[in-house]
Structure 1
């Protein structure tokens, strides 16, 4: 198990599906599970796109 944080929101997730994770790594998370480790550049690009969607007035629901 690990704690992840995005935009100040933290949650506990399972990391059982991924080997070789370290503090500070970026992961793709879905329904409480880390599915894949992603590189920092991809994580940055994804977060920027999500922020653009939010500022465009679109609502993302889970």
Structure 2
């Protein structure tokens, strides 16, 4: 089973090569450096779905919060 989690982008680390775009993403206060190459239009404050260190899509805050609540209820 694969698991992708929502996180909020807290900073961007620009790079001249869009394939190397990275940023800091918060997962409930835990900050990780994540590849943003698949979502080059992302902005600070956006929520992204992250799978194995790569943001694979941008989601709205409501969807991200619903997912986080569901995961908490499952004990994840």
State the TM bucket, normalised to the shorter chain.
0.7 to 0.9
Measure the CA separation in 2 of the matches of 1:38 and 1:19: 14
TM-score normalised over the length of structure 1? 0.82
1:20 counterpart (35, 41, 57): 41
> Which 4+ stretches in 1 moved above 4 angstroms?
none
TM-score normalised over the length of structure 2? 0.68
**Which of the pair is proportionally richer in strand?**
2
- 5+ residue gaps, structure 2, are 1-21
Determine which structure has greater relative contact order: mean sequence separation of CA pairs < 8 Å that are 6+ residues apart, divided by chain length. Answer: 2
- 5+ residue gaps, structure 1, are 55-59
User: Across the two proteins, how many residue pairs are aligned to each other?
Assistant: 55
